[in-house]
Amino acid sequence: MEIIPAIDIIDGKCVRLTEGDYQKRTAYHSTPLEMAKIYADHGIKRLHVVDLDGAKAGTVINWKTIEEIASNTDLVIDFGGGVKSRDDVFRIKSLGIAYVTIGSMAVKAPNVFEEWLIEFGPDNFMLGADAKDGKIMISGWLESSSIDLMTFIEGYMKKGIRNIFCTDISKDGKLEGPALDLYKVLKEKFSELHIIASGGVSSIDDIYKLNEIRCDGVIIGKAIYENRITLDQLRKFMIEMN
């Protein structure tokens, strides 16, 4: 199982939201680049980066920050937040970023996203399936939809998507544990997909539980920043899994 620390960016700074609420945010002292280098120094290989300003504005805002991370580390990065055009996708890929994360566009402009899948190839994208009460949420979790989570995932699986991260928004940022039942169902229903858990991870025990139900990866945010999970614990887990 891949360990994937999250770096969420507002105004070029590392922040964490609670339940996706921009009014419930905590800013941290280290810059995104500093945090990325710390992760790399502890053996981390992957990184999940979100431009929260971009997600809210509907256009990528923090280009400078993501360029700094991509050009100064060897981390395998997925990046999203405000990606709305083919040029955005091309620019992100030209930085050497492995995956372009698409959430809102997959809901609001599926025909455009399907064109990108054909042009760039589905392996260059990660589908963000963020949900609350079983329904897809979009635009930085500010908008709800009537789209069923399972139907949404199944539809894009048929279009070639294999990489998905799913956030149960009711769990996110609350440090109350991940939605284990949801991820277990997803792995059973979509066994061929690479499914990454996100939201609610609060202890190293949560990491082991997600590994037990065969999640392919886990995104960890606030638990690291608030020292609920140490980087030494994560290094130990990765050594045990190798």
Residue 172: what pLDDT?
56
State mean pLDDT over 211-226. Answer: 93
> Rounded to two decimals, what is the model's pTM?
0.90
* pLDDT range class, residue 143, cuts 50, 70, 90: low
Residue 19 clears pLDDT 70, i.e. is over it:
no
* pLDDT range class, residue 55, cuts 50, 70, 90: confident
Nearest residue to 222 (alpha-carbon basis) of 78, 12, 44, 14 = 14
Q: Which residues contact 85 (CB under 8 A, 6 or more apart)?
A: none
* pLDDT range class, residue 20, cuts 50, 70, 90: low
Dihedral, CA of residue 146, residue 150, residue 152 and residue 155, to nearest 10 = -140
Percent of the chain whose predicted confidence (pLDDT) is above 70: 90
Q: Which two tokens stand for residue 26?
A: 């905590």
Residue 199 clears pLDDT 90, i.e. is over it:
no
- φ, ψ of residue 165 in degrees (nearest 5): -120, 135
Report how far residue 146's alpha carbon sits from residue 3's, in angstroms, rounded to the nearest whole number: 31
Nearest residue to 128 (alpha-carbon basis) of 96, 170, 88, 168 = 168
State mean pLDDT over 229-242. Answer: 94
Alpha helices in the chain (DSSP H): 32-41, 52-57, 63-72, 86-94, 104-108, 110-120, 149-157, 180-189, 204-212, 222-225, 231-241
Report how far residue 114's alpha carbon sits from residue 34's, in angstroms, rounded to the nearest whole number: 35
Q: In terms of pLDDT, which residue wins out, 92 or 241? A: 92
Q: 196-215: string of b/e by CB count within 10 Å (b at 16+)?
A: bbbbbbbebebbebbeebeb
Q: In terms of pLDDT, which residue wins out, 106 or 142? A: 106
Each residue's pLDDT tens digit, 61-77: 999 999 999 999 999 99
Nearest residue to 88 (alpha-carbon basis) of 107, 102, 72, 68 = 102
- Determine if residue 177 is left, alpha or beta; phi over 0 gives left, psi from -120 to 50 gives alpha, anything else beta: left
Catalytic center residues: 8, 130
Percent of the chain whose predicted confidence (pLDDT) is above 90: 72
Pairing of strands 125-132, 99-102: parallel
Domain boundaries, the chain: 2-241
* CATH number assigned to the domain covering 2-241: 3.20.20.70
